[in-house]
């Protein structure tokens, strides 16, 4: 079961129990460009592109031969030789436009660029202006070739970033283990989960002990120990031992499926953005068609005894008007601008799933973050050692490393890593874990306890502080408080710079939502200089929080950046959802509109800037096309511009727009 947001088309004119505390960590997406079946199929692989170049080359040769024939035989416009060369050239270059226009007419979609070019070129043929008709179709085809080349490069940039990792379940059956789809596993089946694998279905552990990373589901910062008899959920990551699990739910009823259902419900609240050119074309094209009819019909009606030459002249002016009005420049340059933005972003490690999201990125004024795996690394490290009652930092760390010598807990591992020396385990005796509290052991002749604040209160050990920012291990020897060690999930290297960059480009608010505790969240928010934070949130709470932020954002757009499965509903609900793709969960990546493939928070500001630049260039192209076309429409209506001038004006606008659009990639 996968939830996918609707993919907008980017082409104009195309429809496109060592309880040391808590924390969060957790790629399959195929990016594609979609079109409705009533439009040109713009998806070419390299082989198709070569065929297209060959076809265009043939049409160019036929066009030049026909043009020369037309010039040589200008006194005999009905030359069979000219028609024999130019009609095939017209059909080869314009077949896609003609068939698209026909299909759209049958579906009741009369006025679009295909219809406009069809009637303009057929009209030109009807008055024996074959070279002009072929030129309109040929230049449009060449423009599309430019577009496809750029789109192809963008797609290659995108696909190179994607790593497909299908989820499987290792089914144990009759003493054999074989990988199967999680959907095919039944309740009561046995599955094997190896270290590093994602648990595919909810179930009960029959055999094996391990540490599981629950952060993708619960937001807990510290992995928890699991043993036979305990329940594990789909989406948890098995970190150490091999687990044999008996499934208790079907895949469709699992934790992952429930969260993905939340994603689907959240996605349905988002309205699709209709492209400007679609709305514009509904008004623009009919006006142009009727204006051209008026130019062809009305002037001769008001003339006394109009001759055939008079009628021909006004029909010619009408065709000039139609050719000038063809929105080829827009049809080529707008999608090229967006694909340039998508490709340029991909080269920088940012996957944008459609042109709509570039527009939304351009309007972002609030960025909301998940904490773990997004702003922090999800890796534990000793950050502070606070000795008490005569202990030094070195002695306290050595004592902690010794008492934690037999523990496989990530917190214990971080302490031993910080100590960095060999540990004489023979000095550690009577080791025992106190569930939900910590560890007790004899180290030499000292009775040492190491654990959380609850353990100190249970043992009635006097200490100076209870609430500490971050994950804390308190130590005491022979009933006397020895100090504490702070273990924190480190900030990503560029997290501070990322927040600074967002403020620099004008993002007004930076807010963090996390399932972690209040003190940890407060510490991270202060380190980064965030505008605000909300802590101890379940997935449902994050959705409610983003809803409130959306209501408060006014006209500006809200981006949410996350990485865990529990972030997927929030990613879906935000105006633009962004996922950390390198370590992020499949569900978050599948749901997100934008994927940061490098896991670097600093890329968020870069993505917003790319969105803004793309938006500016697209607007520039629209304005340029409208101004130039408006000018030539006036000239054409009064018979000042010829059909050739109309063709070159249209092609000139298209080429300028293409050059402008290519600036996005650079």
CA dihedral 405, 411, 413, 414 (to 10 degrees): -120
**CA dihedral (108, 111, 114, 115) positive or negative:** positive
Could you tell me what percentage of the chain is helix, strand and coil, using 3-state DSSP and rounding each to the nearest 5? Answer: 50, 20, 35
Collect all residues with Cβ–Cβ distance below 8 Å to 615 and sequence separation of at least 6: 358, 359, 362
Cβ 507 vs Cβ 608: under 8 Å:
yes
Q: In DSSP terms, which residues pair with 432 in a beta bridge?
A: 440
Q: What count of residues does the chain have?
A: 666
* 38 has catalytic annotation: no
Q: In DSSP terms, which residues pair with 384 in a beta bridge?
A: 486
The CA distance from 568 to 578, in Å, is 10
Tell me which of 370, 489, 516, 599 is the catalytic residue.
Answer: 370
Please name the residue ranges forming H helices in 510-563. 518-528, 539-552
Closest CA to 364 of 111, 557, 119: 557
Q: Which tokens in the block code for residue 401? A: 């490393």
Query: Between the CA of residue 478 and those of 55, 272, 453, 482, 653, what are the distances in Å?
Result: 88, 66, 17, 10, 85
Q: Count CA atoms closer than 13 A to 536's CA, side-chain side.
A: 5
- Three-state DSSP at 327 gives coil
The CA distance from 256 to 579, in Å, is 17
Collect all residues with Cβ–Cβ distance below 8 Å to 608 and sequence separation of at least 6: 361, 362, 364, 502, 505, 507, 559
Please name the residue ranges forming H helices in 190-327. 215-218, 255-267, 276-301, 308-325
Residue 555: Cβ-neighbour burial (10 angstroms; 0-12, 13-18, 19+): exposed
Q: For every residue of 508-525, which 3-state class applies, written as one string?
A: CEEEEECCCCHHHHHHHH
The CA distance from 68 to 272, in Å, is 50
Closest CA to 324 of 654, 657, 652, 650: 650
The CA distance from 39 to 217, in Å, is 42
Rama region for 128: left / alpha / beta (φ>0; ψ in -120 to 50; rest): left
The CA distance from 343 to 157, in Å, is 6
- Three-state DSSP at 484 gives strand
> Element (H or E) spanning 603, and its range?
helix 602-637
Cβ 364 vs Cβ 478: under 8 Å:
no
Q: How many CB atoms lie within 10 A of CB 457?
A: 12
The CA distance from 637 to 294, in Å, is 10
Q: For every residue of 199-213, which 3-state class applies, written as one string?
A: CCCCEEEEECCEEEE
The CA distance from 626 to 584, in Å, is 44
Q: What letter does residue 479 receive in the DSSP assignment?
A: T
The CA distance from 92 to 320, in Å, is 22
Catalytic residue set: 370
């Amino acid at each position: 079961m996968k939830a996918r947001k609707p993919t907008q088309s980017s082409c104009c004119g195309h429809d496109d129990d060592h309880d040391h505390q808590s924390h969060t960590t957790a790629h399959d997406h195929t990016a594609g460009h979609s079109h409705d079946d009533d439009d040109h199929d713009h998806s070419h692989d390299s082989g198709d592109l070569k065929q297209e170049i060959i076809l265009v080359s043939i049409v160019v040769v036929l066009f030049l031969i026909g043009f020369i024939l037309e010039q040589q035989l200008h006194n005999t416009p009905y030359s069979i030789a000219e028609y024999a060369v130019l009609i095939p050239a017209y059909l080869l270059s314009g077949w896609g436009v003609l068939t698209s226009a026909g299909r759209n007419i049958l579906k009741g979609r009369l006025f679009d660029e295909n219809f406009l070019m069809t009637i303009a070129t057929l009209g030109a043929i009807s008055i024996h202006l074959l070279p002009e008709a072929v030129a309109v179709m040929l230049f449009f085809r060449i423009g599309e070739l430019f577009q496809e080349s750029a789109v192809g490069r963008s797609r290659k940039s995108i696909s190179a970033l994607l790593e497909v990792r299908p989820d499987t379940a290792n089914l144990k059956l009759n003493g054999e283990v074989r990988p199967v789809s999680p959907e095919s596993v039944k309740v009561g089946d046995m599955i094997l989960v190896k270290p590093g694998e994602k648990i595919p279905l909810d179930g009960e552990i029959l055999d094996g002990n391990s540490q599981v990373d629950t952060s993708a589901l619960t937001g807990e910062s510290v992995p928890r120990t699991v043993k036979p008899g305990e329940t594990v959920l789909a989406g948890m990551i098995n970190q150490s031992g091999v687990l044999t699990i008996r499934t208790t739910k079907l895949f469709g009823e699992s934790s992952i499926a429930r969260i993905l259902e939340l994603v689907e419900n959240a996605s349905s609240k988002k309205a699709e953005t209709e492209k400007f050119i679609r709305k514009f074309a509904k008004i623009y094209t009919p006006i142009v068609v009727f204006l051209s009819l008026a130019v062809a019909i009305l002037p001769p009606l008001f003339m006394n005894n109009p001759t055939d030459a008079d009628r021909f002249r006004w029909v010619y002016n009408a065709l000039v008007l139609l050719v000038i009005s063809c929105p080829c420049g827009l049809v080529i340059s707008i999608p090229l601008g967006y694909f340039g933005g998508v490709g340029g972003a991909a080269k920088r490690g940012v996957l944008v799933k459609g042109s709509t999201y570039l527009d939304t990125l351009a309007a972002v004024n609030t960025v909301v973050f998940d904490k773990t795996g997004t702003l922090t690394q999800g890796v534990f490290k000793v950050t502070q050692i606070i000795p008490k009652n005569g202990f030094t930092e070195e002695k306290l760390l050595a004592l902690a490393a010794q008492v934690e010598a037999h523990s496989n807990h990530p917190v214990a591992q971080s302490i031993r890593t910080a100590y960095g020396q060999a540990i004489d385990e023979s000095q550690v005796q009577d080791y025992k874990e106190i569930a939900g509290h910590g560890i007790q052991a004899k180290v030499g002749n000292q009775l040492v306890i190491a654990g959380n604040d609850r353990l100190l209160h249970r043992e009635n050990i006097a200490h100076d502080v209870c609430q500490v920012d971050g994950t804390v291990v308190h130590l005491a020897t022979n009933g006397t408080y020895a100090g504490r060690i702070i273990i924190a999930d480190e900030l990503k290297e560029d997290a501070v710079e990322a927040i600074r960059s967002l403020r620099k480009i004008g993002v007004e608010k930076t807010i963090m939502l996390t399932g972690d505790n209040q003190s940890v969240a407060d510490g991270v928010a202060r380190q980064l200089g965030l505008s605000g934070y909300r802590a101890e949130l379940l997935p449902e709470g994050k959705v409610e929080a983003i809803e409130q932020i959306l209501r408060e954002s006014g006209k500006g757009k809200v981006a949410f950046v996350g990485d865990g499965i529990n972030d997927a509903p929030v990613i879906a609900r935000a105006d633009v959802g962004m996922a950390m793709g390198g370590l992020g969960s499949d569900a978050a990546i599948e749901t997100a509109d934008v994927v940061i493939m490098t896991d670097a928070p600093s890329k968020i500001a870069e993505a917003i800037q790319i969105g803004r630049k793309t938006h500016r260039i697209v607007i520039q192209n629209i304005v340029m096309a409208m101004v130039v076309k408006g000018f030539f429409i006036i000239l054409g209506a009064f018979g000042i511009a010829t059909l050739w001038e109309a063709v070159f004006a249209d092609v000139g606008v298209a080429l300028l727009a293409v050059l402008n659009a290519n600036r996005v990639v650079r």
